C-alpha cells in the first residue's frame, strides 16, 4: 500500500511539476525512468542480500530508504536534486516488492499461497486510491508558501515509522530460519544458480514476462494523468478519472486471487494479460469520455490482476536458497523495461506520434509476455515450495 501510494503520487506530481517547473515531455519521462533505474538496482542488490541476511531485515531497510528519500524529495528546488532522490526512492521500492512477496510466499501453506500473495498485492490498489485522493485534494490546493505537490510528497515519508513495528513484531521467513546454512553460500553461487539447467527455462520466462509487463505498466500508468490532459481534460478532471480507474484495480486483484487457486497461475496470467493488451489498445484510441473511462477501468482491472499473479508466480520458480536472488534479478530485468517505458512515451510524444500508436506498442509488449508464460511457463498451483 505504501509503495503504491508513492508511485501513484509520483504520476500526479509529474503533471504538477510540468506546470510549476516548465518541464518538457522528455524531462517528465526521465522522472519516471530514474525511479525505475533505482528500482532495477534495488531489486538486484536487495534481492541478492535477502538470501544472505534474511527477508525481514532487507524488507525493513528498503522501507526506510524509500520513505525517507521520498519525503526529502519534497524539499528539492531543482530538477537534478529531485532526480537524485527519486533514484533512492526507486532503490527502496525495487528491493522491497520482491522481498515482501518472497517472505509471504515462504510463510503460507501451498493450498492458499497464491491467493494470499495476490491479496497482499491487492493493497497496491489501496495505495493508488490513497494517492489519487491525496493528489485530487492536496496537489491542486494552496498551502502558502508550500506548493501542494510538496505536501503530498511529505506524506509519503510516513511509512518510515512502520519500519519500527516491523523490527519489533514481524517474524522472518520460517523456511529461511530453518536453513541457516543458506547464509554461507556466496553471492556468485546464488546468481549462477538461477541459470542451472533445472531453472533456465523458468528464468528466461520470468525475464521476458517481467520486462514486458513493467515496460508497459510504467509507460502507461505514469503517463495516465498527462495523457488525459493531452486528450483535452483539465488536471482536476484527470485526477477524477484516474481515481475511478484505480478503484477498478480492486476487483481485478480479488478475481485473480480467486482464479489463481481454482484455475492456476498460467491461466490467470495469460487471460489477464490478453485483457490488458485489448484494453490498452482501446484506451489509446478512445475519442469519447465513455470509451476512455470504460477502457481505462478494464485496463486497471486486467493489468493489476496480472501483477498480483506475477508476484505469486515468481518466487515459486526457485528453491529457498536462491529464491530472493531469482525473484530480485527477474524484477531488476523488469525495471529495465520500466526505464524505457516512460522515456519512450516522452520521446514519441515529442515526435508527435499519436497516443493510439504509442499504446499499440504496449499492447504488443504485453502479448509477448503472455506468450512467454503460455509456452515456457510451468504450472505451480498448490505445489510445495522447493527447499
Note the pLDDT tens digit of each residue in 136-179.
788 888 777 788 889 999 988 888 888 888 888 888 899 888 88
SS3 of residue 145 by DSSP: coil
Contacts of 369 (CB under 8 A, 6+ apart): 208, 209, 211, 212, 213, 273
Question: Tell me: the pLDDT tens digits for 180-194?
Answer: 888 888 999 999 999
Residue 341 confidence (pLDDT) above 90 = no
**pLDDT for 218 beyond 70:** yes
In this prediction, residue 234 carries a pLDDT of 67
Q: pLDDT (tens digit, 9 = 90+) per residue, 270-303?
A: 999 999 999 999 988 888 878 888 888 899 899 9
Q: Which domain CATH number covers 247?
A: 1.20.1250.20
| Sequence-ordered list of residues with C-beta below 8 angstroms from that of 165, at least 6 positions apart, any chain | none
Residue 352's pLDDT is what? 86
Predicted confidence (pLDDT) at residue 47 exceeds the cutoff of 90: yes
Burial category of 216 from C-beta neighbours within 10 Å (exposed 0-12, middle 13-18, buried 19 and up): buried
Q: Which residues contact 373 (CB under 8 A, 6 or more apart)?
A: 205, 209, 266, 269, 270, 273
Answer yes or no: pTM beyond 0.95.
no
> Is 179 a domain residue?
no
Q: Is 357 exposed, middle or buried (0-12, 13-18, 19+ CB in 10 A)?
A: exposed
Q: Is residue 387 part of a domain?
A: no
What is the enclosing helix (H) or strand (E) of 292? helix 289-313
Interior/surface letters 237-265, b for 16+ CB within 10 angstroms, e for the rest: ebbebbbebbbbbbbbbbbbbebbbeebb
Tell me the average pLDDT of the chain. 89
Whether residue 384 lies inside any domain: the answer is no
Average pLDDT over residues 371-385: 94
**Do 380 and 310 touch, CB atoms closer than 8 A?**
no
Domain residues for 357?
2-169+184-376
Is 152 contained in some domain? yes
The count of structural domains within the chain is: 1
Q: Could you read off the pLDDT of 111-128 as tens digits, one per residue? A: 999 999 999 999 988 888
Asked if the structure places residue 230 within a domain, the reply is yes
pLDDT higher for 292 or 233? 292
Name the pLDDT band for 235 (thresholds 50, 70, 90). low
Asked whether residue 285 is domain-assigned, the answer is yes
Rounded to the nearest 10°, the torsion over CA 356, 212, 366, 59 is -110
* Percentage of the residues of the chain whose pLDDT score is greater than 70: 96
State residue 20's pLDDT score.
84
Instruction: Say which range, 68-82, 224-238, 243-257, 326-340, has the weakest mean pLDDT.
Output: 224-238
Residue 178, domain member (yes or no): no
Amino acid at each position: 500500500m505504501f509503495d503504491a501510494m508513492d508511485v501513484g503520487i509520483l504520476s500526479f506530481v509529474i503533471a504538477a511539476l510540468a506546470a510549476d517547473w516548465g518541464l518538457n515531455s522528455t524531462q517528465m519521462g526521465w522522472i519516471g525512468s530514474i525511479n525505475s533505474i533505482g528500482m532495477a538496482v534495488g531489486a538486484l542488490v536487495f534481492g541478492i542480500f535477502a538470501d544472505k541476511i534474511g527477508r525481514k531485515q532487507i524488507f525493513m531497510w528498503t522501507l526506510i530508504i524509500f520513505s525517507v528519500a521520498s519525503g526529502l524529495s519534497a524539499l528539492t528546488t531543482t530538477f537534478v536534486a529531485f532526480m537524485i532522490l527519486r533514484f533512492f526512492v526507486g532503490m527502496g521500492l525495487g528491493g522491497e516488492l520482491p522481498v515482501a512477496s518472497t517472505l509471504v510466499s515462504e510463510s503460507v501453506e501451498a493450498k492458499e499461497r497464491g491467493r494470499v500473495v495476490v491479496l497482499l498485492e491487492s493493497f497496491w490498489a489501496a495505495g493508488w486510491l490513497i494517492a489519487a485522493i491525496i493528489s485530487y485534494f492536496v496537489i491542486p490546493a494552496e498551502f502558502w508558501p508550500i506548493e501542494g505537490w510538496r505536501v503530498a510528497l511529505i506524506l509519503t515519508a510516513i511509512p518510515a515509522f512502520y519500519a519500527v513495528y516491523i523490527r519489533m513484531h514481524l517474524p522472518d521467513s520460517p523456511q529461511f530460519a530453518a536453513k541457516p546454512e543458506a547464509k554461507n553460500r556466496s553471492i556468485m553461487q546464488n546468481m549462477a544458480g538461477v541459470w542451472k539447467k533445472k531453472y533456465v527455462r523458468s528464468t528466461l520466462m520470468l525475464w521476458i514476462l517481467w520486462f514486458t509487463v513493467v515496460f508497459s505498466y510504467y509507460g502507461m500508468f505514469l503517463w495516465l494523468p498527462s495523457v488525459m490532459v493531452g486528450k483535452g481534460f483539465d488536471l482536476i478532471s484527470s485526477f477524477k478519472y484516474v481515481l475511478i480507474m484505480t478503484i477498478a484495480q480492486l476487483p481485478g486483484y480479488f478475481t485473480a486471487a480467486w482464479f489463481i487457486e481454482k484455475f492456476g497461475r498460467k491461466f490467470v496470467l495469460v487471460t489477464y494479460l490478453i485483457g490488458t493488451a485489448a484494453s490498452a489498445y482501446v484506451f489509446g484510441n478512445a475519442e469519447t469520455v465513455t470509451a476512455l473511462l470504460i477502457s481505462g477501468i478494464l485496463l486497471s482491472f486486467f493489468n493489476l490482476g496480472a501483477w498480483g499473479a506475477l508476484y505469486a508466480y515468481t518466487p515459486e520458480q526457485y528453491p529457498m536458497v536462491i529464491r530472493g536472488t531469482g525473484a530480485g534479478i527477474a524484477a531488476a530485468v523488469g525495471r529495465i523495461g520500466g526505464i524505457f517505458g516512460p522515456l519512450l512515451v516522452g520521446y514519441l510524444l515529442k515526435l508527435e506520434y499519436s497516443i493510439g500508436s504509442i499504446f499499440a506498442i504496449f499492447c504488443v509488449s504485453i502479448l509477448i509476455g503472455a506468450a512467454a508464460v503460455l509456452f515456457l511457463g510451468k504450472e505451480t498451483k498448490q505445489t510445495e515450495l522447493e527447499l
